[in-house]
Amino acid sequence: MLVVACAASSATACVIPFTSIGLPKTDPKIATRYEPPPVYDEWWVVAESCAHKKKNLRHWQWYAVKAPHLESRAYERGLPGERNEAYVHEDRVLDRVEVMTMMVFLLTPKLPFSGDPDQAFFDRTLSCVGIKNSSRATRGGLTSA
């Protein structure tokens, strides 16, 4: 459980730039929201086909994240699925491997009871979209919506 203490006179200015529960979407020092470019629609069709699922790409809010924040263990605790946010390294928003790995992750179901992502599903779907080795794929601990 995260406990935050702020002085009563400065409660409105109390901002947690990075916590153990994830990236707050309101902090532009860490993440900047962006609209998925048209190429994402093409990649999404491929990801949906491989996952045998249909979801709206724009269900998620996409954020370009400054380094090193995506390397945090907090990211691995399920931030995108819990908040309908998709995070991509800011210098890789047009990188097919980076973005499609996130897309596959977003389409990956959670396992019953544990809430962990179905790693076998994730691996099969990632392979189907043509990604053999992704840095995000080996991180584990991801959850999906």
pLDDT in tens, 69-91: 666 544 433 334 456 788 888 89
The span from the CA of 19 to the CA of 34, in Å, is 22
142 in a domain, yes or no? no
86 in a domain, yes or no? yes
The span from the CA of 55 to the CA of 37, in Å, is 17
Tell me which residues of the chain have a pLDDT lower than 50.
Answer: 1-20, 23-26, 73-81, 137-145
Q: Which pLDDT does position 144 carry in this prediction?
A: 39
56 in a domain, yes or no? yes
Is there a contact between 18 and 74 (Cβ–Cβ < 8 Å)?
yes
* Total of domains in the chain: 1
Q: Which pLDDT does position 134 carry in this prediction?
A: 59
94 in a domain, yes or no? yes
**How many whole angstroms from its chain centre is CA 129?**
18
**50: closest CA among 140, 141, 116, 130?**
130
140 in a domain, yes or no? no
Q: Where are the alpha helices (DSSP H) in the chain?
A: 38-51, 79-83, 96-107, 119-128
Q: Which pLDDT does position 132 carry in this prediction?
A: 81
Domain with 45 in it: 18-128
Burial of 78 (0-12, 13-18, 19+ CB in 10 A): buried
Whole-model pTM above 0.75?
A: no
